[in-house]
């Protein structure tokens, strides 16, 4: 049974967390390079938020948005 859990430990430490180990080592050389993935995710989120706000504005201008407080049955 001990070998089974040591096998799981080896799998996580050497395979699944290899990218994390690489990024940890890279951070010592260049902080910006290590955090490039975070910057990419933040840019994607920023674009999604801008798109979402534009879509909300379009619905509001068309008058299709139902702003009545009884729009949902649980709000009655």
Residue 44 parent element (H or E): helix 36-62
Contact 59, 65 (CB under 8 A): yes
Q: What is the pTM of this model?
A: 0.57
Q: What is the pLDDT along the chain (76 residues), one digit of tens a residue?
A: 999 999 999 999 999 999 889 988 998 999 998 899 899 999 999 999 999 999 999 988 887 776 666 666 666 5
């Amino acid at each position: 049974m001990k070998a089974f859990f040591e096998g799981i430990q080896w799998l996580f430490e050497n395979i699944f967390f290899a990218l994390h180990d690489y990024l940890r080592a890279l951070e010592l050389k260049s902080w910006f390079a290590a955090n490039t993935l975070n910057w990419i995710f933040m840019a994607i989120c920023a674009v999604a938020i801008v798109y979402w706000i534009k879509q909300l504005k379009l619905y509001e201008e068309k008058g299709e948005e139902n702003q009545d407080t009884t729009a949902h049955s649980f709000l009655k």
